[in-house]
């Protein structure tokens, strides 16, 4: 159960080689360091436990029988991302699917289709071909709108475009997706893409130009009922349906990129998404290769999901210490994220605040200057003070930016009842939520919340026998799928919010 180290996979497969076809191995995720061998030859390696990668094997794959071997090592390292300590289980190995993918010799490598920044009727973006030695024509079609545009790629296979379109915008209430068809040469790629705007104005978040309050919940990518990493879309759906039942229009996918199907499902179900890279607690801020690694994980997350309307926030980090080297590191990540995707908002979950008066705390972390939206994790009533103390606490910030309380919570064992003073009872957890809600009603810049968290999850840091048994018990739902009292406290509040603000 606590094993960390290499695991080896081996499989034979048969393959039929064809002319003008290129072949890739696609790994949806391998935690943490993967080394891949095909027919006895090393073809590549990859670092980072939650992002996809591809290796071209066109010249290695044989007609007939082939032998693939993969070593995946989940040993934690001080220079890795994340580093040595996390509050989640270090599930190792091939945690997501591996596919052998055939494409034409010139193929659509990537595309980015979103509304142009600040516009509701102009689609802008780009398409990137791989393998083209001369300009090619690419067509972009949205059949439902009767739209078909042709663009010509440059010498690098790149083409940018911008064209008008009369669109029904995507929103949680009406998550409209369009079938988009991208064709080039011998290849046609089909997609479902939604279009919406997202921006901030002062301390508000605007979705399609209207203020939106993010009624959210945080979740880990852990399978309900059986534990382990999620392996099917059904498991994704169970979690997102629970979030819907709670009254959410928003999910914080903590603390690393969840599987791709989760985000695609959020697109279809109308849930706004906060997506995060595992720059968690303390990591080697001064280390050049750690920065390169974090950048690569951020790039691959954005690349995978940049066409998902549901994703409105890229989160750069969680609870990092406000030292200069860390702020510089995260400033670099923020600049990089903006260069890759200027259409979405940047955030980070921060937890360092200053007293600003008797019962007032101010979130002035220097990282805030590089973000569009401030995330705040606080545990009044659990790691500090009593639940009812929250009623009198006020939060401010010198940044005039929207604030999301990205975490608060308390542990409770499903079915454990007692006095509301007794920790780990359902009553105690419900009491924390009631007082947190009293407090959050008083935060003028509050644009959303994502309490900690939807479902109990496994963690090696949580050993209390009979209580935690290596689970973080802050779920509103147990890992066996049972709703705790606090679930209904939050559900009532979200119901009230939804009725007073349809957005």
- CA–CA gap between residue 3 and residue 74 (Å, rounded): 9
Q: Is residue 264 a contact residue for ligand GCB (CB under 6 A)?
A: no
Q: Is residue 87 a contact residue for ligand GCB (CB under 6 A)?
A: yes
DSSP H or E run through 234: helix 233-245
Integer angstrom CA distances of residue 91 from 74, 223, 392: 8, 12, 41
In whole angstroms, the minimum distance from the beta carbon of 467 to ligand GCB comes to 13
Residue number with CB closer to ligand GCB (34 or 251): 251
Q: Is residue 468 a contact residue for ligand GCB (CB under 6 A)?
A: no
Task: Tell me which of 472, 477, 484, 490 binds ligand GCB, using CB under 6 A.
Answer: 472
- CA–CA gap between residue 84 and residue 81 (Å, rounded): 9
- CA–CA gap between residue 140 and residue 180 (Å, rounded): 7
Q: What is the DSSP string of 358-381?
A: TTEEE---GGGGG-SEEEEE--BT
172 and 272 Cβ atoms separated by less than 8 Å: yes
- CA–CA gap between residue 146 and residue 137 (Å, rounded): 19
> Minimal CB distance to ligand GCB: which residue?
87
Three-state DSSP class for residue 55: strand
Q: Is residue 317 a contact residue for ligand GCB (CB under 6 A)?
A: no
Q: Is 409 left (phi over 0), alpha (psi -120 to 50) or beta?
A: left
Binding residue count for ligand GCB, defined by CB under 6 A? 9
In whole angstroms, the minimum distance from the beta carbon of 255 to ligand GCB comes to 6
Residue number with CB closer to ligand GCB (85 or 137): 85
Q: Is residue 236 a contact residue for ligand GCB (CB under 6 A)?
A: no
- CA–CA gap between residue 228 and residue 237 (Å, rounded): 16
Closest CA to 68 of 95, 98, 88: 98
- CA–CA gap between residue 13 and residue 67 (Å, rounded): 7
- Sheet (strand 107-115) strand order: 107-115, 122-130, 158-164
> Interface residues for ligand GCB in 30-49 (CB under 6 A)?
none
In whole angstroms, the minimum distance from the beta carbon of 474 to ligand GCB comes to 5
Q: Is residue 458 a contact residue for ligand GCB (CB under 6 A)?
A: no
Residue number with CB closer to ligand GCB (235 or 407): 407
Q: Is residue 305 a contact residue for ligand GCB (CB under 6 A)?
A: no
Residue number with CB closer to ligand GCB (219 or 273): 219
Task: Tell me which of 236, 300, 319, 365 binds ligand GCB, using CB under 6 A.
Answer: 319
Residue number with CB closer to ligand GCB (407 or 479): 407
> Interface residues for ligand GCB in 424-453 (CB under 6 A)?
452
Residue entry with tokens 């002062």:
202
Q: Is residue 479 a contact residue for ligand GCB (CB under 6 A)?
A: no
Residue entry with tokens 């595309």:
111
Taking residue 165's Cβ as centre, other Cβ atoms within 10 Å add up to 15
In whole angstroms, the minimum distance from the beta carbon of 380 to ligand GCB comes to 12
In whole angstroms, the minimum distance from the beta carbon of 405 to ligand GCB comes to 12
Residue number with CB closer to ligand GCB (153 or 377): 377
448 and 401 Cβ atoms separated by less than 8 Å: no
Closest CA to 247 of 486, 496, 501: 496
Q: Is residue 258 a contact residue for ligand GCB (CB under 6 A)?
A: no
Q: Is residue 318 a contact residue for ligand GCB (CB under 6 A)?
A: yes
Closest CA to 403 of 354, 438, 362: 362
Task: Tell me which of 326, 474, 484, 503 binds ligand GCB, using CB under 6 A.
Answer: 474
> Interface residues for ligand GCB in 399-418 (CB under 6 A)?
407
Q: Is residue 229 a contact residue for ligand GCB (CB under 6 A)?
A: no
In whole angstroms, the minimum distance from the beta carbon of 249 to ligand GCB comes to 22
Backbone angles phi, psi at 126, to 5 degrees: -155, 165
Q: Is residue 361 a contact residue for ligand GCB (CB under 6 A)?
A: no
Residues contributing to the site for ligand GCB (CB under 6 A): 87, 255, 318-319, 377, 407, 452, 472, 474
């Amino acid at each position: 159960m606590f094993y960390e180290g290499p695991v080896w996979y081996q499989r034979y497969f048969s393959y039929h080689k064809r002319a003008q076809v290129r072949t890739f191995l696609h790994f949806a995720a391998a935690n943490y360091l993967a080394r891949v061998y095909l027919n006895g030859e090393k073809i590549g390696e990859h670092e980072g436990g939650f992002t996809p990668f591809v290796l071209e094997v066109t010249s290695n794959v044989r007609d007939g029988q082939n032998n693939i071997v993969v070593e995946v090592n989940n040993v934690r390292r001080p220079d890795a991302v994340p580093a040595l300590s996390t509050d989640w289980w270090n599930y190792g190995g091939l945690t997501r699917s591996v596919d052998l993918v055939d494409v034409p010799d010139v193929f659509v490598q990537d595309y980015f289709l979103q509304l142009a920044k600040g516009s509701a009727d102009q689609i802008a973006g780009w398409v990137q071909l791989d393998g083209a030695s001369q300009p090619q024509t690419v067509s972009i079609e949205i059949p439902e709108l009767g739209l078909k545009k042709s663009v010509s790629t440059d010498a690098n296979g790149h083409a940018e475009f911008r064209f008008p379109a009369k669109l029904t915008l995507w929103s949680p209430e009406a998550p409209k997706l369009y079938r988009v068809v991208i064709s080039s040469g011998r290849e046609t790629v089909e997609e479902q893409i939604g279009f919406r705007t997202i921006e901030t104005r002062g301390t508000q978040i605007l979705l399609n130009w209207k203020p939106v309050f993010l009624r959210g919940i945080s979740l880990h990518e852990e399978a309900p009922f059986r534990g382990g990493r999620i392996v099917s879309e059904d498991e994704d759906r169970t979690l997102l349906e629970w979030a819907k039942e709670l009254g959410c229009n928003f999910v914080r996918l903590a603390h690393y990129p969840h599987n791709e199907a989760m985000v695609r499902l959020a697109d279809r179900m109308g849930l706004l998404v906060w997506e995060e890279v595992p720059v968690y607690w303390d990591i080697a801020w001064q280390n050049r290769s750690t920065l390169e690694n974090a950048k690569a994980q951020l790039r691959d997350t954005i690349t995978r999901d940049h066409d998902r309307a549901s994703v409105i926030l890229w989160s750069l980090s969680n609870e990092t210490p406000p030292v200069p080297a860390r702020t510089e590191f995260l400033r670099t990540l923020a600049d990089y994220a903006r260069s890759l995707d200027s259409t979405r908002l940047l955030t980070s979950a921060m937890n360092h605040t200053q007293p600003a008066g008797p019962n007032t705390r101010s979130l002035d972390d220097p990282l805030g200057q590089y973000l569009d939206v401030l995330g705040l994790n606080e545990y009044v009533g659990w790691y500090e003070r009593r639940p009812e103390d929250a009623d009198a606490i006020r939060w401010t910030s010198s940044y005039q930016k929207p604030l999301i309380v990205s975490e608060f919570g308390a542990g409770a064992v499903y079915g454990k009842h007692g006095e509301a003073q007794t920790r780990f009872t359902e009553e105690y957890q419900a009491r924390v939520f009631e007082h947190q809600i009293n407090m959050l009603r008083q935060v003028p810049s509050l644009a959303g919340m994502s309490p900690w968290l939807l479902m109990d999850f496994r963690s090696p840091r949580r050993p209390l026998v009979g209580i935690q048994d290596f689970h973080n018990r802050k779920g509103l739902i147990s890992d066996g799928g049972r709703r705790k009292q606090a679930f209904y406290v939050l559900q009532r509040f979200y119901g009230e919010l939804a009725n007073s603000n349809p957005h």
